[in-house]
Chains A and B, each alone.
Chain A
Amino acid sequence: MNPYLAGFLLGLVLLAAFFITGRGLGASGAAKSVVIETIGNIAPDYAEQNSFYASFFATGDGRPMKNWLVYLTMGVLGGAFFSGFMSGRAGFAIDKGPRISNAKRLIFAGLGGMLFGVGAQFGRGCTSGAALSGMAVLSTAGFLTMMAIFGTGFVIAYFFRKLWING
């Protein structure tokens, strides 16, 4: 799909989210819910002691999975699979730069995920929840987070070029 058209449609989806719920979109929140649910199940004592998890169980009905962002993400998975399948893009694959091995790519993917997991907590949301949704409502946090993510990316890209390009 043409990227501008995709962006326009994504903007309409975001607008619909605000119109209906008053909040934007998000993705990392679902990962957080899964972690909290898991910790709450396998180590309830620990979850009670730790203020990060405890604050989740203390409020609401104590069911982290019955969460707006979790259902949103289930929708994302469904919508993405439908799109990928219909466009013939579904299938096992690893996308990587030309100069690294599959194993190395997977290690870096895992590292990147971990960093995003930590960063999205400090940023109170990731690229979609903090940056995109934040920019849509013109919040300072949204623009700040967006500039920090992409600014950092551009500054350090040179040092990690082996991961992605030949140059």
Chain B
Amino acid sequence: MGPLIPQGFVNPDLNLFFAFVIGLGFGYVLEQGGFSNSRKLAGVFYGYDFVVLRVFFTAAITAALGLLLFNYMGWVNYDLLYINPTYLWSALVGGVIMGFGFILGGFCPGTSMVAAVIGKIDAMVFVLGLMIGVFFFGSFYDEFAPLYTSGDLGSVFIFDTLNMNREWFVFLLVLVALAAFIVTRKIEDKVNGLEPRQGLFAPLYVGPFLLMIGVAVLILLLPESPRAKWFETDAKTILTEAAEGKQYVEADELAYKLLNPKENNFVLVDVRNDAAFAEFTLPGAIHIPTAKMLDMGYKKLLQEKNQPVLFFGFDDTDANQVWLTLRRNGLEDIFVLEGGLNGFFYHIFQAENKPGKYNEMQQFEARFIERARDAFQSGEAAQKINKKAKPVTTIIEMEAPPAGQGGC
């Protein structure tokens, strides 16, 4: 089901509207949490007020648990979420600089905007500084670029980095957070010279806390089977489809669609190697190397389209393998060109094709093939298609956003 927008369930034009609505909630909660006061925010570093730690950790854990649960229930496909890439050195240097910024400025960007809008003058100056900082980075981007791109580990998960099981990691994270809540509360009382407060959990937040622990335990105990496999297609279904040859698109159908671009709703995907693709391919086809078919960027592209995808190779062996793998991973509306390129060209150019005393249907087909042959030979087909041909670069851009387009 989710995420909605990357899968095309929601009109992308509504994207910005959702952004605004989510922002409303974000701003409201931050302000209500007390994040509009720099003195309160800085308190976390001096022990007199740990509100930042409480809100921050509770939010991170709530969302992390929620996403795992949603993934398990099949409400969110984890594969389609944006996992911010890890650039080890860039992240560390950036974090250290931001640490200095936090102590000196008393805000982080989000909280400064929350504070500025309700009239905090220090926050307004901070926001101004923020923009100067971005401008500074932009001006010296070429100098910063080597550091900015150093330590590229890709979109890795923390539990993989630590070589841990995902569910156990989350469970331990919850325990660490709860321990931190208890300890920081004691520190806070000591720093502020108060009598240690009795009772850790006021009735108001005993609910969220129990819910967190409950969900963490639940995720730990849930049976393995559906967890990662929710989005997979059942093996029996695939076997039936393959036995019936349901994945195949015949040469005639493809030829017809190539000649009638208006009715051609196929996304053509060439699964041969780079050199073969560079030499020639079907008009409008894009190239995805077989080994990369399951990479997030490509998978997203194949899934996002509301168009059927047709795979082809020299014959149909490789394309069938791709079809099988992707089908197993839950992709729908994907097909294989029967006989591959060789079969296609043989059918159009070389096959014995004698109209005559056959029935009407066969005559019609023969005439069609003849027309297709002419169209391909004269280059008419390529011309027709090229108008809507998608260059390969569109996929590459999807995989790697251009420099300086990080999150936040």
Contact = CB atoms under 8 A, between A and B. Distances in A.
Interface of A: 1-32, 34-36, 39, 50-53, 55-56, 58-59, 66, 68-85, 87, 89-97, 105-106, 108-157, 160-161, 163-165, 167
Contact of A75 (B20, B64, B139, B156): B20
Contacts of A112: 100-107, 126, 129
Interface in B289-323: none
Contacts of A160: 103-104
Interface of B: 2-6, 10, 15-34, 36-40, 42-46, 48, 51, 54-64, 66-67, 70, 75-76, 80-88, 90-115, 117-123, 125-139, 141-142, 144-145, 147-148, 153, 155-161, 166, 169-170, 181, 202, 204-205, 208-209, 397, 402-408
B70 A148 contact: no
8 contacts: A7-B33, A14-B63, A81-B117, A82-B28, A106-B125, A115-B133, A138-B170, A167-B46
Given A76-B110, A118-B97, A56 B20 contact: no
Contact of B110 (A11, A51, A94, A128): A128
A44 B130 CA distance: 22
Contacts, number: 584
A136 B67 contact: yes
B70 A15 contact: yes
Chain A at the B interface: mostly helix, strand, loop or mixed? helix
Nearest to B43: A164
Nearest to B62: A11
Given A13-B22, A22-B6, A120-B94, A87 B32 contact: yes
Chain B at the A interface: mostly helix, strand, loop or mixed? helix
Contacts of B93: 119, 122
B60 A11 contact: yes
B81 A18 contact: yes
Contact of A4 (B3, B42, B115, B208): B208
Contact of B100 (A56, A121, A152): A152
B302 to A, nearest CB: 16
B205 A109 contact: no
A53 B142 CA distance: 11
B166 A138 contact: yes
B260 to A, nearest CB: 31
B230 to A, nearest CB: 15
B105 A108 contact: yes
Contacts of B81: 18, 22-23, 137
A4 to B, nearest CB: 4
A92 B170 CA distance: 42
B60 A75 contact: no
Nearest to B18: A20
B82 A113 contact: no
A133 to B, nearest CB: 7
B107 A75 contact: no
B101 A113 contact: yes
B185 to A, nearest CB: 11
B90 A25 contact: no
Contacts of A143: 158
A164 B42 contact: yes
A68 B5 CA distance: 12
Given A79-B23, A83-B28, A138-B159, 12 more contacts: A6-B34, A7-B54, A9-B32, A27-B113, A50-B142, A89-B31, A93-B120, A108-B105, A109-B126, A116-B98, A132-B59, A133-B407
Contacts of A127: 56, 98, 102, 108-111
Given A5-B208, A71-B19, A81-B117, A140 B406 contact: no
Given A121-B148, A160-B103, A80 B113 contact: yes
B118 A31 contact: no
A140 B39 contact: no
Contact of B156 (A11, A70, A139): A139
